[in-house]
């Protein structure tokens, strides 16, 4: 399946996930956004050589993906696609940072491997949190939350329009791409001149579509201001949600929980 | 390339977010002020177009590999810098949310690297001056290519600086730069070719569509204020780290002739008096803190200083110097204007 087709499928899948009635979908989008950002900042605030101390934070995406009923394969697929750049740069760490840090059995592990492990863990945690945020919130609710938080209406309107029309244009691009592939010699890529006319046609159609959409909006009484339907009210459950999770993040940051747990267990044994 | 959360520290991430939010508020206000309600669906459609076009690869002439459109420069040419920035930011947001391309904290950095740099530096400072109002196809293509290459080089530099400032990666700055800059030179050429091809097609098929950006941007010198301020801040605050640590032509010649790096203390009275005044006034002597700037005797085999010399004081010196120069020029301009008005 081509990149475009796969991307379209992912878009639809995540969109439809958010429409379901789950416990997490009822939370105010501002609360979810705030907690997710707090989570990401907490994860990134750890030192570069800390790996085990990050593990308790995995509770957040685990619990939330269960509450939001995000399928494991969606999570796995996004993780697989996520941040090849971060991993490539991270792989340089074992090469450049060779001061020995750990000794496991007879093997000495350089500090670069430890920091690479930390980067892997960071990628996993931040990506899962993002997927869960979207899977439980949806674009419309997110835009409502953003505009309530003071984000300019121009930007939130743009996000909504983009999300609405990306399906339309991506499908057209897919049709163009498939049509070319069916008519071209196998393995032959799109040459630049042909790309210009094919994508140029898509661009022209985008302009014309935009003009038609504008006419349709005017015909329905558009007066220049986009009003977004808002039906979320901040509840006590939202305050509890934010308070509990941020408290947990602060605890996990302040106290090395795995170390404490390990010490407790070894003390009990000994 | 998209910056990733895992390589960022919270400080750098938040700083880039603050910068991008500041630019967003300016851009959103300017789009609003245009009061053209055609823009809303058009921006959405073009954002969707860029999103879709990024997934269609074309083969690069001459090589065997393929590339795809980035879109920042194309949007700036079609919509003007402010609307283009809003659209780029929205495309990056959707990519971050739906495809975990980059991350939520890195979104601020990505908006800066892929939005602010092409729309507010490359477009107004390179494309517009070179292309002019209605360029011929060759001139337009050349301007587009140059602007795209510059935008991507600056973007690559920004990614390296953000990664190095965060301290999560152990990759040294010089090695990272040596990898990123050549790759992004190639990517910039590809981006320039794709953008030029699309704009050329549009110019042949429906040239009136290219006037949307022109109608939004009046020939107003104030349009250049933000890009030039940004360029000055970047040069004084960041590029100054890359200044050569070797002596310049004059210092080198003096050292060869006189045998020391600095000339001997002035002996004449007036010269000594003026020198004393300068010493007292200069609160950032030699672009560094006074304590560290004590003149050292010239050493033949002195160890070369670390390069780039990342130094907060150099940044402060660069920014303060730039601001002071700007203030001085403004004062002179105001004075001259008042003089002319009076006559």
List pLDDT tens digits, range B233-277: 777 777 777 777 777 777 777 777 776 655 566 667 777 788 788
pLDDT in tens, chain A (270 residues): 577 788 788 888 887 887 777 778 888 889 999 999 999 999 988 888 888 888 889 999 898 888 888 888 778 878 877 767 777 878 887 877 778 777 777 777 788 888 888 888 888 898 889 888 888 888 888 888 888 888 998 999 999 999 889 989 989 999 998 898 888 888 777 888 888 899 999 999 999 999 999 999 999 988 877 777 777 788 898 899 999 999 999 999 888 888 888 888 888 877
Left (φ > 0), alpha (ψ -120 to 50) or beta: where does B100 sit?
Answer: left
Instruction: Tell me, yes or no, if A157 comes closer than 8 A to chain B by beta carbon.
Output: yes
pLDDT higher than threshold 70 for residue B138: yes
Residues on chain B touching A139 (C-beta within 8 angstroms) = 97
φ, ψ of residue B186 in degrees (nearest 5): -65, -45
Decide if B171 and A162 are in contact by the 8 Å CB cutoff: no
Query: Does the CB of B162 have a partner CB in chain A at under 8 Å?
Result: no
Among the partner residues B5, B44, B56, nearest to A177 by beta-carbon distance: B56
**Alpha carbon distance B127, B129 (integer Å):** 6
Is residue A65 in a domain?
A: yes
Q: What is the pLDDT of residue B301?
A: 44
The pTM is what? 0.80
Out of A48, A115, A203, name the one closest to residue B49 (CB).
A203
CA distance B98 to B117: 24
Among B48, B64, B158, B180, the residue to mutate for chain A (most A Cβ within 10 A): B48
Gap from A86 CA to chain B (nearest CA, Å): 6
Per-residue pLDDT band at B214 (split at 50, 70, 90): low
Of A89, A139, A214, nearest to B41 by CB-CB distance is: A214
**Is the same domain home to A2 and A87?**
yes
Taking the Cβ of residue A78 and every Cβ of chain B, the question of whether any pair is shorter than 8 Å is answered with: yes
Cβ <8 Å between B5 and A122: yes
Do A67 and A127 have their domain in common?
Answer: yes
Three-class secondary structure of residue B133 per DSSP: coil
Identify the closest residue of chain A to B63 by CA–CA distance. Answer: A191
Structure tokens at A102: 């750990």
Kindly state whether residue A178 falls inside one of the protein's structural domains: yes
Q: Is residue B62 within 8 angstroms of chain A, CB to CB? A: no
Is there a single domain that holds both residue A215 and residue A251?
Answer: no
Which residue does chain A place closest to B197, by CA atoms? A196
**Residue of chain B whose Cα is closest to the Cα of A89:** B169
Contacts of A206 in chain B (CB under 8 A): 45-46, 48-49
Task: Tell me if A270 is assigned to some domain.
Answer: no
Minimal CA separation from A48 to chain B, in Å: 5
Chain B, window 16-45: residues with a beta carbon less than 8 angstroms from a chain A beta carbon? 24-25, 27-29, 31-32, 35, 37-38, 40-45
Same domain, A199 and A222: yes
What is the separation, in whole angstroms, between the first and last Cα of chain A?
57
Contact (CB<8Å) A134/B97: yes
Is A76 contained in some domain?
yes
Please tell me the distance in Å from A42's CA to the nearest CA on chain B: 8
Q: Clarify whether residues A224 and A250 are in a common domain.
A: no
Task: Show the domains of chain B with their CATH numbers.
Answer: 5-288+306-342 (1.10.1760.20)
Q: How far is A257 from chain B (nearest CA, A)?
A: 21
In a domain, A142, yes or no: no
Q: Which residues of A touch B42 (CB under 8 A)?
A: 207, 210-211, 214
pLDDT the model gives residue B195:
93
Residues of B in contact with A136 (CB under 8 A): none
Q: How many Å apart are CA A76 and CA A180, to the nearest integer?
A: 32
Cβ neighbours of B205 in A, within 8 Å: 200, 204
- Listed by number, the residues of chain A in 229-258 with a beta carbon closer than 8 Å to a beta carbon of chain B are none
Residue B112 touches chain A, beta carbons under 8 Å: no
In the stretch 113-152 of chain A, residues with CB closer than 8 A to chain B read 115, 118-120, 122-123, 126-127, 129-131, 133-134, 139, 142, 152
Verify that A8 and A107 share a domain, yes or no: yes
The CA–CA distances, whole Å, from B279 to A21, B248, B272, B284 equal 72, 21, 10, 10
Please judge whether B41 and A142 are an interchain contact, meaning their C-beta atoms are less than 8 angstroms apart. Answer: no
Boundaries of domain holding A222: 152-229
Nearest CB to A202: which of B13, B49, B94? B49
Same structural domain for residues A10 and A98?
A: yes
Instruction: Name the residue among A130, A155, A224 with its Cβ closest to that of B89.
Output: A155
Residues B103 and B4: beta-carbon distance below 8 Å: yes
pLDDT tens digits for range B288-334: 665 554 444 444 444 555 666 667 777 777 788 778 887 888 888 88
A182 and A194 share a domain?
yes
pLDDT at A150: 87
Residue A107 lies in a domain: yes
Bridge partners (DSSP) of residue B59 are A191, B66
DSSP A93-139: HHHH---EEEEETTEEEEHHHHHHHHHHHHHHHHHHHHHHHHHHH-H
Question: Are A84 and A199 members of one domain?
Answer: no
Residues of chain B neighbouring A115 (CB-CB closer than 8 A): 168-170
Quick check: B150 and B54 in contact, CB under 8 A?
Answer: no
Whether residue A104 sits in one domain with residue A17: yes
A residues 175-194 near B, CB within 8 Å? Answer: 176-177, 189-194
Distance CA(B46)–CA(B49), nearest Å, equals 5
Supply the DSSP symbol for A191. B
Question: Does the residue A192 lie in any domain?
Answer: yes
- In a domain, residue A206? The reply is yes
Based on the domain organization, do A122 and A199 belong to the same domain? no
Residues A240 and A169 occupy one common structural domain: no
Comparing A115-119, B133-137, B205-209, which segment has the lowest mean pLDDT? B133-137
Q: Which residue's entry shows tokens 């984000």?
A: A151
Closest partner CB to A93 (pick from B46, B97, B169) = B169
What is the tally of structural domains in chain A? 2
**Amino acid B146: pLDDT:** 95
């Amino acid at each position: 399946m081509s990149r475009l087709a796969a991307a379209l499928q992912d878009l639809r899948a995540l969109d439809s996930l958010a429409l379901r009635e789950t416990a997490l979908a009822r939370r105010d989008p501002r609360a979810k956004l705030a907690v997710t950002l707090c989570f990401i900042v907490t994860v990134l605030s750890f030192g570069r050589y800390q790996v085990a101390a990050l593990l308790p934070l995995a509770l957040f995406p685990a619990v939330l993906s269960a509450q939001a009923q995000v399928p494991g394969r969606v999570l796995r697929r996004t993780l697989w696609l996520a941040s090849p750049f971060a991993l490539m740069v991270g792989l340089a760490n074992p090469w450049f940072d060779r001061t020995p840090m750990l000794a496991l059995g007879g093997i000495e592990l350089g500090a670069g491997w430890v920091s690479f492990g930390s980067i892997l863990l960071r990628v996993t945690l931040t990506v899962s949190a993002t997927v869960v945020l979207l899977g439980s919130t949806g674009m419309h609710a997110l835009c409502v939350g953003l505009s309530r938080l003071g984000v300019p209406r121009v930007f939130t309107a743009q996000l909504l329009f983009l999300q609405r029309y990306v399906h339309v244009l991506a499908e057209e691009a897919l049709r163009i791409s498939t049509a070319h592939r069916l008519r071209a010699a196998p393995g032959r890529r799109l040459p630049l001149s042909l790309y210009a006319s094919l994508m140029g046609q898509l661009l022209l159609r985008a302009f014309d579509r935009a003009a038609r959409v504008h006419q349709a909006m005017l015909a329905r009484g558009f007066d220049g201001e986009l009003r977004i339907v808002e039906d979320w009210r901040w509840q006590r459950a939202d305050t509890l949600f934010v308070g509990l999770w941020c408290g947990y993040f602060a605890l996990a940051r302040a106290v090395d929980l795995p170390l404490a747990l390990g010490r407790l267990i070894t003390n009990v044994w000994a | 390339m998209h910056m990733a959360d895992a390589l960022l520290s919270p400080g750098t991430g938040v700083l880039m977010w603050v910068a991008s939010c500041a630019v967003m508020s300016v851009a959103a206000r300017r789009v609003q002020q245009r009061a053209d309600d055609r823009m809303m669906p058009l921006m959405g459609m073009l954002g969707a177009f860029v999103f879709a076009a990024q997934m269609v690869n074309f083969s690069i002439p001459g090589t065997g590999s393929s590339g795809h459109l980035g879109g920042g420069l194309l949007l700036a040419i079609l919509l003007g810098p402010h609307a283009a920035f809003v659209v780029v930011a929205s495309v990056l947001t959707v990519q971050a949310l739906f495809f975990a391309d980059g991350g939520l904290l890195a979104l601020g950095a990505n908006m800066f690297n892929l939005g602010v740099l092409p729309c507010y530096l490359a477009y107004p400072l390179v494309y517009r001056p070179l292309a002019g109002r209605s360029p011929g196809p060759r001139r337009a293509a050349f301007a587009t290519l140059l602007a795209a290459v510059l935008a991507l080089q600056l973007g690559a530099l920004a990614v390296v600086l953000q990664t190095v400032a965060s301290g999560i990666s152990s990759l040294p700055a010089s090695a990272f730069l040596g990898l990123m800059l050549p790759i992004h030179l190639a990517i910039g050429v590809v981006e320039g070719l794709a953008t030029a091809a699309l704009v050329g097609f549009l110019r042949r098929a429906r040239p009136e569509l290219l006037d949307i950006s022109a109608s939004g941007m009046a020939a107003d010198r104030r349009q250049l204020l933000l890009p030039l301020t940004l360029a000055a801040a970047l040069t004084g605050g960041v590029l100054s780290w890359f200044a050569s640590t070797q002596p310049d032509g004059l210092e080198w010649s003096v050292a060869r002739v006189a045998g020391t790096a600095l000339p001997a203390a002035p002996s004449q009275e007036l010269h000594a008096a003026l020198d004393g005044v300068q010493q007292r006034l200069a609160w950032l002597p030699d672009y560094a803190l006074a304590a560290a700037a004590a003149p050292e005797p010239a050493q033949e085999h002195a160890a070369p200083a670390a390069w780039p010399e990342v130094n907060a004081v150099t940044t402060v010196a660069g920014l303060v110097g730039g601001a002071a120069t700007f203030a001085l020029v403004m004062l002179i301009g105001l004075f001259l204007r008042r003089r002319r008005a009076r006559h």
